[in-house]
Amino acid sequence: MSTGIELAKQGKCGICEEAVEHGPWTDEQIAEAVQDTGIEAFEDWCDQCLVTLCFDGDAKYAAKLLGRPVKAGFAALLGVRHG
């Protein structure tokens, strides 16, 4: 069992251990995600880490792709919404 999975079950980011948007994951949800992605080292990331690492700090772009507001950077302050 990886640390990332343990943290996800507690609703924590696999990188910084802040609360993730998804909340605590169940075994079933993790199993599904692993099946979907084919990545066994499952971990969830908080919005801040997601934006920083996957979207190059662009919270607006992240919100657009994720289809929801993200709690990171200036987007959190402005309450940026998709669409």
The least CB distance from residue 42 to Zn ion, in Å, is 15
* Residue number with CB closer to Zn ion (18 or 61): 18
Instruction: Report the distance separating Cα 11 and Cα 44, nearest Å.
Output: 8
Where does this chain touch Zn ion (CB under 5 A) — which range of 28-36, 48-56, 62-70, 75-83? Answer: 48-56
Task: List Cβ neighbours of 46 (8 Å cut-off, separation of 6 or more).
Answer: 13, 15, 16, 18, 19, 20, 21, 71, 72
Q: What is the DSSP letter of 19?
A: B
Q: 30 and 5 in contact (C-beta within 8 Å)? A: yes
For Zn ion, the binding residues in 57-76 under the rule CB under 5 A are none
Contacting range for Zn ion; rule: CB under 5 A; set: 17-25, 33-41, 52-60, 63-71:
17-25
Assess 13 for contact with Zn ion (CB under 5 A).
yes
Chain residues that interact with Zn ion, rule: CB under 5 A: 13, 15-16, 18, 46, 49
